[in-house]
Structure 1
């Protein structure tokens, strides 16, 4: 960590100390937490229905964010004091300090995104992860006479969590979105998934494909995604393929996203009137 900042000092509560010394504790803690988080993630791949591991992951993410915030606060305070001292801001020492601030900021944003994605999945099920194990145990104790019953209930809840997570993964795979953009798309998926009798995977496919092909976000994205899901269900066609085919058909006619709803209705009407599948109708174009 020292690098070219080993000469930078920091005044804390009236005492002056080297910045590298002040950073030792939070950096050490961050490394230990990341190592533990890596082990928990590896264990979850082998046992994704383990409620204890899920709780551990949430706690490790929260602690990692805390230690990273502490590290970033020390770096920024050192930067503030360095600038106030009137020292050279063009030298390698200050440049390295700026670089470390930027790297730590990106690390913090990444951790917060991980936590938001993780908590968002659980909140979509109607509970917070901190209450996850407690609620499962209480419900299981009240309703089921044996421990096996509690385990079955927990497995069902985690299965729902994994389903939501699969939908999120599909969105990221299809769009490549990160940060706030990814969070916005995931919120749209939650909205679609909660309003229709559909799977989280199909909600993720619709959000990812419609966003990528039509460039929509927010309410417009949710509305057209819902329409595509309903279209695929009514016509018993592949959702992913339908979005791609409709997009190509509209481009042929010089039409855009605003015309998609009408086109979906036209395809459905013609398929019902002629007995020709929507797939054949789209391919004939």
Structure 2
């Protein structure tokens, strides 16, 4: 038996809540599904229908590539190779749109993110940053960068970062917002904001502190450290480091295992992992 009722929290209508007995065989249907609580034999879910609150999606991308494969794996490639895939407003807006597109597609099971060419991303686009001429413009620019990180972080299904080369600045936060990070030996991790008199932005301090603790995060950010791939692996920032020629195979081997797995269960596991830092036993 399923009972659909309108559910609102913080004065926002989040969509339809479905009550579902674990022993029933009723499908949850399309859209994104969030576990709210588990109580006895019953589970509460929020079921958001496709494209609720997302607006119109872009028909074409110029700064990213979005490739959906038959097995449910989606490959998102940052496609500004000549600019080291740096984050300008076009790339950021398109990536946000692509994340919404992935989230609203019930057939999309795993997102793999990579960069075109020799590097993953150099972070913020220097040209755009240099053109900032007001506090309002600065806020708009950095808020947009934070939004793309949040868009990746909020994806309900697994996100694998395939680091083909160096990652720097705000792109580091985007990488750390993923679930699994597979890197080539060339994938240096540059957190050198302080070297250009910048504070870390886009969630870098949030992720580093939670992953490494205050002291190690402080060491990296105060000193503007550039970690090589093996150092990032030893610290636990990367899951695996492989030769560049093996990177795609290693990454997609993992993606295919996840795509074949029980997708709703994996969604639930991700939700529980996301909630665990704020929960107690």
Relative to the length of structure 1, the TM-score reads: 0.26
Question: Which structure has the highest helix share of the two?
Answer: 1
Question: Which structure has the highest strand share of the two?
Answer: 2
Relative to the length of structure 2, the TM-score reads: 0.26
